[in-house]
Amino acid sequence: MNAVLEFFKKPFLRKYTNYIVVALFTVIFAILSLTGGLKMGTQFLLEQIGIAVLLAVSLGMVVGFLGELSLGHAGFMCVGAYVGGKLSSLLVGAMGGNEDSIVALLLALLVGGLVAAVFGIIIGLPALRLRGDYLAIVTLAFGEIVRSVFMNMPERLFGGTTGLETPRFDRKYLFVFAFLLVLACLAVTQNLMRSKHGRAIVSIKDNEIAARATGIDVTKYKLFVFTISSFFAGIAGVLYSYSNVRLQSVNFDYNYSTEILVMVVLGGMGSINGSMIAAALITFLNVKLQTMLTGNLAVLQKLFYAIILILIVIYKNAPGLKGFREKYNLKALFDKLFKKKPVAEDMADGKEGDDAE
């Protein structure tokens, strides 16, 4: 095992560890899924994780790297979901009801992402001239407006209050697409941030006045980050539409935007890997609570969710727990797992630890 660990410590590979880990997960789960080793529930969970990771990484670009607060990320997702969902149901209808058409899926992803990106530009142009709280207010309003616009559109167009029926891709494969898109998003984000453009974006966050005085085109970069972030949110929306039979605009409300923001903040601002882990954990928690607490107990879902979040924040920040934190953290767990156990078991239960790299 040490050999493997040493292998990952090579500087060249270190840069790509997160791709390798996500790719490994994709391959392992894809094989499991194809051989019938995954339950429907797990496939659904994996889809949701893929969607959440896309949302968290894309919002992380705006909030973590650019340093602007956006509270309307679910709005961009909503645009992608409705546009992509409508397009895919039209395409599927034209193709004689084949819901598993890859062409329809890819086209819907592309168009949904692009339309969301256009909305990103439309909102970004005026909004990015605003600072701090004002941008937050504008994006918050945008999210709510988009949602209610789709709800109030004629029913034959976007389903109105009853919701838009969308095709459902085969559960066996959909999460694989979601994971592949996560890889693509990761590549784009990471390549962007590890370049002169990434340095420019960080310089804007650190000191906008100095960035301008150093010749950085602040508006261009802000707009670009905003646009590409909306693009991936739109793509996540299209996946969401494929994962659910019925799109209801009420799902894209302010709470959803906040939840994405929570993932970014918990994962650590400006950390792509952190956002991914937080997104996966929070989604896991959410889905598990939803399946475990049903019927009368359903009211407790939000309560438990909130309590766990509060505990995480306390664990992360409380000064009294500093010693405890240093002793029991993901890295320590990771080291322990790798030092004591043989290879096969690592792959089975080392999930959280793996992500931590």
Partner 1 sequence: MQNNDIVLRTEHLSIQFGGLRAVDDVNLEIRRGELYGLIGPNGAGKTTVFNLLTGVYKPTAGRILLCGEDITGKAPAEINRKGIARTFQNIRLFHNLTVIENVMVGLSNQIPCSIAESIFRLPRHMRSEREYYERALALLEVFQLAEYKDYLAANLPYGKQRKLEIARAMATNPTLLLLDEPAAGMNPSETQELMDDITFVREKFGMTILLIEHDMRLVSGICENLTVLNFGTELAKGATAEVLSNPAVVTAYLGE
Chain positions contacting partner 1, by CB under 8 A = 187-188, 191-192, 195-200, 202-203, 205-207, 209-218, 224, 270
DSSP for 145-205 reads: HHHHHHHHS-HHHH-GGG-EE-----HHHHHHHHHHHHHHHHHHHHHHHTSHHHHHHHHHH
If you compute the radius of gyration of the chain from its CA atoms, what whole number of angstroms results? 21
We find the least distance from the C-beta atom of residue 146 to partner 1, in angstroms, to be 27
DSSP state of 87: H
Contacts (Cβ under 8 Å, ≥6 apart) of 354: 21, 24, 25, 334
Is 70 within 8 Å of 228 (Cβ atoms)? no
In the complex with partner 1, which residue's Cβ is closer, 42 or 271? 271
We find the least distance from the C-beta atom of residue 275 to partner 1, in angstroms, to be 17
In the complex with partner 1, which residue's Cβ is closer, 220 or 339? 220
In the complex with partner 1, which residue's Cβ is closer, 67 or 350? 67
Is 46 within 8 Å of 29 (Cβ atoms)? yes
Is 236 within 8 Å of 55 (Cβ atoms)? yes
We find the least distance from the C-beta atom of residue 51 to partner 1, in angstroms, to be 22
In the complex with partner 1, which residue's Cβ is closer, 83 or 109? 109
What is the distance between the alpha carbons of residues 287 and 277, in angstroms, rounded to a whole number?
15
Residue 95 φ then ψ, to 5°: -95, 15
Strands 164-165, 246-247: pairing is antiparallel
Contacts (Cβ under 8 Å, ≥6 apart) of 331: 356
We find the least distance from the C-beta atom of residue 268 to partner 1, in angstroms, to be 13
In the complex with partner 1, which residue's Cβ is closer, 160 or 198? 198
3-state secondary structure of 354: helix
What is the distance between the alpha carbons of residues 178 and 236, in angstroms, rounded to a whole number?
8
- What is the signed CA dihedral for 190, 195, 199, 204, rounded to 10 degrees? -80
In the complex with partner 1, which residue's Cβ is closer, 129 or 302? 129
In the complex with partner 1, which residue's Cβ is closer, 199 or 340? 199
Strand partners, 246: 165
In the complex with partner 1, which residue's Cβ is closer, 15 or 336? 15
In the complex with partner 1, which residue's Cβ is closer, 211 or 261? 211
What is the distance between the alpha carbons of residues 98 and 94, in angstroms, rounded to a whole number?
9
Is 262 within 8 Å of 102 (Cβ atoms)? no
Contacts (Cβ under 8 Å, ≥6 apart) of 153: 160
In the complex with partner 1, which residue's Cβ is closer, 33 or 190? 190
We find the least distance from the C-beta atom of residue 81 to partner 1, in angstroms, to be 25
